[in-house]
Structure 1
Amino acid sequence: MKKESVLIALLCSAQSLLAQQPEDTAHTQLKQIVVSAPRIETAMMRIDLKKIPVNTAQDLLRKVPGLFIAQHAGGGKAEQIFLRGFDCDHGTDVNISADGIPVNIVSHAHGQGYSDLHFLIPETIEGIDFGKGAYYADKGDFNTAGYVNFSTFDHLNNSMIKLEGGAFNTMRLAGMFNLLADKSAAKRNAYIATEYNYTNGPFDVQQQFSRFNIFGKYNQWLNDKDYLSFQLSTFTSGWNASGQIPERAVEQGLISRWGSIDPTEGGNTSRTNAALTFIHHSNAQEYWKSFFFYSRYKFNLYSDFTFFLKDPVNGDEIQQKDDRSIYGFEQQYIRDFTMGNSRLTWQSGVGLRLDDIYDLELNHVYRRDSLLNREAWGSGRETNLHAYTGLTWHIGNWRINPAVRIDQFIFNYQDKLKPASGEPGVTAARVSPKLNFAYASGDVAQWYLKTGMGFHSNDMRVVIAQKGKDILPFSAGADLGVVLKPTPNLLIQPALWYLYLQQEFVYVGDDAVVEPAGKTRRMGVDVSVRYQPLKWLYLDADVNYANAREIGAPKGENYIPLAPVLTSTGGIGVNLPMGFSANLRYRYMKDRPANEDNSLVAKGYFVNDLLLAYTHHQFQFTVQAQNVFNTNWNEAQFETETRLQHESQSVTDLCFTPGTPFYLKAGISVRF
């Protein structure tokens, strides 16, 4: 086995140790992608990142083909995620990580798998690794619809300061500063990045959304075989929210489209992450990777979804609190073998994650200040032990990848509203086999069949309430697709897929109740196209269709609420000589069912954004126009039973959060 092949694997696992900062997009061409490469999605994403600018943490998620997001709580709450016919809420069915640190929060105060990516500074992101389905042995909890991992730069070529401002009193200041770098050999690097955001948003109740981030990273080759990396980040955020408003309140003129029923919604949150990576390269055929992480997390959210339905005097505002520490470790081993005209890569790993939850609360409150009643209050520990092993066999034009993963969970929950004895601990295990095939037809096509099982854990309060039943509902699915490159500058990737999800019970954090969700099946088609007819012109489009149904329910009453049916994203990018560039982006979501019988429909939308930039030496000037055509669109929509203060009885209709109207933002950055 050549040393270069092992080094490639080493660099991928170390988050691209020698990656360069994307400064010159002219040298990034679609023709560089090799169809037979094992991780062609990641290679395609590198091209996208360099051709299509990213400016916010939300933009990072939108980079993943087929993944949609919606914001419905003032900008500071985690985004609602849609992928492959799933309304993943805030992350229940998509595994999200950053530099290997898990982002999903288990047994969260608001929702299982809650994933807040606002601690990421967009300019620090070097690559996005993603995969759809549950076909990857090193991905565990929440990997049903897919996974996403963001990786940050290991070193900077330049320091940078950026200042932006725009409508709605929007301002942003960001900076990245090279502290230590050996550019000749990249032996030792260190940098720090920081960001401050503020906006009032378009709403009648000013968001007063503020967020401060700071991130630092140090890495060093200790010698020819040993590599060490350490990173530390922290962020804090606070905001007001206009909430989700009933359509009837706007139609009756009670509030404007940008108004609110309860003006005291909002919240604050913070997260501090630390991670240490050590890699030992034993020889040209094998290496070990040790990864340790720690997160300190706090969350406090005030919401009002039903207004005066439950309490006609004080209203229905709730407070959700989460306070915890997360500890984790993973040991990974990779070894390459050569056997005649074939080669074999063996990858294995073991690890654990421990969530030490100090406080989980759901309270009925009045205008944030007065505690009216505790609906749920507890603490606990949730431990996830895992092990996996897999082989990748390269023989001729074939690549065969069998693998298996085992996860063991230990749940301990102390209900502070019940006697001090609490509930006994509960354990559960899940075995997830995988089997993938790929066949390369020269430089023109790579066919693949991916199969596997995944799972997502349920909230510890579900586990206790159900007395150990349906703790780790599994998924089973398959992808059949091909990566086509008929010409060097055209890439087409169609795929057919199927996904089954087992019976499960869901903990509704807003009501502290357990609801059955039933068995479901989803099937669909994904198509991705990338075309670069000229060096300065880049076109991309992703089209995703999903048919999602509940199994066992009568036909016509088996729709899955808010499951996306047809979505598409894409655009056109131009990089002209003399430093000028332009990117016109679109995102489309078709109408979709808002309830089980499709009697209420969540309205679709088509929205466009435009980014113009001019670069001169070390300076760059940008102008962004979001929602260029000022489309009236609803970003988040829910079927909800509500009651307004003047109403004698409740009404079930659509509640929504309006999408961003047209607004301009301009910026200037300087590299030095």
Structure 2
Amino acid sequence: MKNSASFKLLSFVTPFMLVNAAFADDPAIQRILVEGSRTSQMGIADTASQGVVSARELEQRTVYRPGEILEAAPGLIVSQHSGEGKANQFFLRGLNLDHGTDLASYVNDMPVNQRSHAHGQGWTDLNFLIPELVGRLEYSKGPYSARSGDFSSAGTASISYINRLPDNRLVLSGGQNGYRRVLLAASSVLGDGNVLYALESMRNDGPFTRGDNYRKYNVVLRYSEGYAANGWNMTAMVYGANWKATDQIPKRAVDQGMLGRFDAINASDGGAANRQSLSGSWRQTSSGSVSKFNAYLIRGKLDLFSDFTYFMRDPLNGDQFAQPDQRVTSGFAASHTWHSHNSIGLESDWTLGVTGQNDNISNGLYQSKARQQTAIIRRDRIVETSAAAYVENATRWTDTFRTVAGLRADRYRFDVRSDSAANSGRVMTGIASPSCNLIFGPWAQTELYVNAGHGFHSNDARGTVAKIDPVNGDSLKPVPGLVRSKGVEIGLRTEMFSQMQTTVSLYRLDFDSELVYAGDAGTTEPGRPSRRYGIEFSNYLKLNKWLSIDLDAAYARARARDHDPLAGDYVEGAVEGVGQLALSVDQLGPWSGALRLRYFGPRPLSTDNRIRSHSGVTLNGRLAYQLHPAARIELEGFNLTNRAVSAIDYYYASQLPGEPRPVYDVHFHPQESRSFRISLIASW
């Protein structure tokens, strides 16, 4: 039999080598990647819902905010319900992921999700991203890999920065609604390696009556030697931002003419955030093994002021609350993969890995008025520590059948020191997560996949020890520290037809406890067990050298598993369908551009499905012209048809001034109105 397992190992490593070599010193490989089609995953991917998006494909996308880069993963929706500096809202596989729960995100091997966050578990703030530096986006869905841990049940997205730019560049951008951006990014040879640096400054008001006044800056400094397969890098990043926020508003106020779609109720909502990080990664590859190690140190700070219920709890001062969060996160990950021969002549790749993470957190919940603290609801110091070990085996049994099986074990320690002794304590817990993948093929450039696995998400550490509700003094029952998920999937991937790549997947995903959004607290809390069935379709067609078409569609059915005929079994906020259709033109003479139609399907907003959100369709586009080999001009347009749709909807009780009692209503944040941005990109 052929040396198939070695081929599996090398086919996994080769794309990493090519991508980074393209940004090093080989102009021939640069030209291949620029003109090539979507990266093929045939014989590499273990599921139909796994993929890689190249820097060139990402460059063709029109993104209103950096986090929307993740929408390159089929079926993923990225939205916003507040000011621009706040973490995005995410939707995937029938889940309202809130600010990132159950979607594990990484940048340069650093976890972005923040555990036991003041506002939402798994808080994922991607505003520090600089799109021009992104070299690739890798995504996978479902709990089918032992390499994936906390927050990865719905999916995992990993972003890698490049080591060296093909060209230095200066970007000057301006647009409607006070949008301004300046970016300087450059790289050069230094010693035996490359140094990359970038400086970014941006402001944006948005279409709101009282502008967001969003201001941010980014600094990146990166040094690397070698390539991704054999080399190392160190990266320092600094990000800071402040903003005002137009939070979601009640539909009744707009219907009655009290507010316009882009008005706010509390003019002092908003926040400030900063982030500093230092990370490093090392990788060594030989003909029979791959070793990798990375470590990181992250300091983050957020001051967030929100008001979602207005005058329901405090008719005099209003319901604004403050959620400060400060943390230092440190961690590492190490893995070693080697090729082996077993006693019956089969060859396999074995991977052993270990990870560790520690979060030292100080956060709280305060009542406030115009950003001034009026009362302390709770104040906590949290130390959350985790460690994990995993083993994974990849074996090709025949030319048309291979397996990938793994087992992961995680151990967590939650240590909470609250201002209330009743809500202080220490808990230790663990979980084991097996996974198994069967891959059949290829036959006629087609593979079939059968996947199954267990995953989990961690709950807020404060909930694991809480005994008294700090708001009303009621008794509480502590929640489990780790919540299990179980997933199964059947998929197909085919490249049977020239220049076309198609994937289809059918899946089921169960959670032992659903995290649900609480409008009056502005956070998430554990809920009922749930089950989702879904189907996803993704198709990429490159018609010729300069024209390509993307078509993605997904449908999901989400229900609670503990049937309750009185309350209903629908899962609030569970998106039922999403899709996108894109036409991309690349290198048609001096012209390039894209049009992207996005469909964001309806969601049940109440468990009895009586209250539902509407679907939303938006059209974005970009047009670029190469003025000179060293200069390009780009025009981006957002919501080109100016559709008055919601970016997000919630259903809960609030009380406006003059209302005698709370009213249950739909609260929405509008999709930004039509706007344009123009950029001049100079390179040298």
The reply to whether TM is greater than 0.5 is: yes
Structure 2 unpaired stretches of 5+: 468-476
Choose which of 613, 630, 636 in structure 2 pairs with 1:602: 613
- Residue-by-residue CA offset, 1:125-150 (whole Å, 9 max, x unaligned): 01111101011111100111111111
| Deviation readout 1:566-606 (Å, 9 max, x if unpaired) | 11012101225321012000110222211111121112110
Question: For the structure 1 residues 341 and 607, does the alpha-carbon distance in structure 2 shift closer, same or farther, using more than 3 Å as the test?
Answer: farther
Q: Secondary structure at the match of 1:259?
A: coil
Correspondence for 2:558: 548
Secondary structure (helix, strand or coil) at the match of 2:463 reads helix
* CA RMSD after TM alignment: 2.6
The alignment status of 1:487 with 2:497, answered yes or no, reads yes
**Counterpart in the other structure of 1:209:** 214
Give the Cα separation in 2 of the matches to 1:595 and 1:468. Answer: 25
What per-residue deviation string (whole Å, max 9, x for no partner) do you get for residues 351-387 of structure 1?
2100011x21110001102x22111111020001100
What residue number does 1:200 align with? Answer: 205
Name the residue aligned to 1:626: 638
Is the alpha carbon distance of 1:570 and 1:313 closer, same or farther for their aligned partners in structure 2, counting shifts above 3 Å?
same
Q: Give the letter for the 1:379 counterpart.
A: R
Deviation for aligned residue 1:512: 8.8
Q: Where does residue 440 of structure 1 map in the other structure? A: 441
Q: Is residue 85–residue 546 contact of structure 1 (8 Å, CA) maintained in 2?
A: yes
Counterpart of 2:678 (choices 652, 666, 672) is: 666
- Mapped contact 2:17–2:229 kept (Cα < 8 A): no
SS at match of 1:552: coil
Residue 398 of structure 1 pairs with residue 401 of structure 2? yes
1:121 aligns to 2:123 (yes or no): no
Structure 1 contact 637–657 (Cα < 8 Å) conserved: yes
For the pair 1:30 / 2:37, whether they are aligned, the reply is yes
From 570, 579, 597, give the equivalent of 1:586. Answer: 597
**Secondary structure of 2:441 counterpart:** strand
Q: Which residue is equivalent to 2:583?
A: 572
| Counterpart AA for 2:199 | T
SS of 2:23's equivalent in the other structure is coil
The answer on 1:414 being equivalent to 2:423 is no
What pairs up with 1:267-306 in 2 under 5 angstroms? 267-281=271-285, 283-306=286-309
**Equivalent pairs, count:** 662
- The alpha-carbon deviation at position 511 of structure 1 amounts to 2.9
Aligned to 2:426: 425
SS of the residue 2:58 aligns to = helix
- Alignment partner, residue 453 of structure 1: 454
- CA 1:348–1:255 in 2, change beyond 3 Å: closer, same or farther? same
Question: Counterpart in 1 of 2:389?
Answer: 387
Q: Distance in 2 between matches of 1:514 and 1:57?
A: 24
* Cα gap change, 1:192 to 1:298, in 2 (>3 Å): same
Task: Give the whole-Å Cα distance in 2 for the aligned partners of 1:409 and 1:68.
Answer: 30
Worse overlay, 597-606 or 84-93: 597-606
Q: 2-side partners of 1:611 and 1:23: how far apart?
A: 23
Moved more, 504-513 or 225-234: 504-513
Separation in structure 1 between the aligned mates of residue 409 and residue 41 of structure 2, nearest angstrom: 33
Q: Answer whether contact 2:12 2:44 (CA < 8 A) is retained.
A: no
Give 1:5 shift: 6.5
Contact 1:110–1:510 (Cα < 8 Å) also in 2: no
- Alpha-carbon shift at residue 565 of structure 1 (Å): 0.2
Cα distance 1:633–1:431, how it changes in 2: closer, same or farther (>3 A)? Answer: same
- What is the CA deviation profile of residues 3-30 of structure 1, one whole-angstrom value per residue up to 9, with x for unaligned ones? 8865654566789542439976895333
Alpha carbons of structure 1 residues 585 and 50: separation in structure 2 relative to 1, 3 Å: same
Q: Is the 8 A contact 1:15 1:151 kept in 2?
A: no
TM-score by length of 1: 0.93
- Residue 522 of structure 1, aligned match among 529, 532, 550: 532
CA distance in 2, matches of 1:280, 1:475: 34
- Structure 2: which amino acid aligns with 1:233? M
Question: Contact 2:146–2:391 at 8 Å: present in 1 too?
Answer: yes
Inter-partner Cα distance in structure 1 for 2:524 and 2:283: 44
C-alpha contact (below 8 Å) 1:15/1:152 kept by paired residues: no
Aligned twin of 1:635: 647
- Does the CA-based 8 Å contact 2:45-2:51 persist in structure 1? no
The 5 Å alignment of 1:111-190 reads 111-180=120-189, 188-190=193-195
Deviations 1:505-558 (A, max 9, x none): 779696399854111000010000111121111000110000000112335811
Paired residue secondary structure (1:593) = coil
Answer whether contact 2:38 2:53 (CA < 8 A) is retained: no
% identity of equivalent residues: 27
Partner of 2:251: 247
Which residue is equivalent to 1:324? Answer: 327
Checking the alignment, whether the CA contact within 8 Å between 1:36 and 1:443 is kept in structure 2 is no
CA distance in 1, matches of 2:562, 2:576: 20
Conservation of the 8 A alpha-carbon contact between 2:22 and 2:30: no
CA contact (8 A) 2:53 2:138 kept: no
Between stretches 111-120 and 150-159, larger displacement belongs to 150-159
TM-score (norm: length of structure 2): 0.92
Quick one: structure 1 residues 462 and 276, their matched pair in 2 at CA, closer, same or farther if it must change by over 3 Å?
same
| Deviation for aligned residue 1:313 | 0.5
SS of the counterpart of 2:481? coil
Tell whether the 8 Å contact from 1:34 to 1:443 is kept in structure 2 after alignment. Answer: no
Query: 1:343 aligned to 2:347?
Result: yes
SS at match of 1:48: helix
Q: CA deviation at 1:32?
A: 6.5
**C-alpha distance in structure 2 between counterparts of 1:360 and 1:324, whole Å:** 8
Q: Which residue of 2 aligns with 1:474?
A: 484
User: 1:333 matched to which residue of 2?
Assistant: 336
Match of 1:646 among 652, 658, 675: 658
Shift of 1:260: 0.9
Unaligned runs of 5+ in 1: none
Query: Aligned partners of 2:357, 2:418: CA distance in 1, in Å?
Result: 22
How many Å apart are 1:469 and its aligned residue?
Answer: 4.5
Match of 2:573 among 562, 574, 587: 562
What does 1:229-248 align with in structure 2 at a 5 Å threshold? 229-248=233-252
Displacement of 1:228? 2.3
Paired amino acid for 2:598: R
Deviates most, 37-46 or 122-131 = 37-46
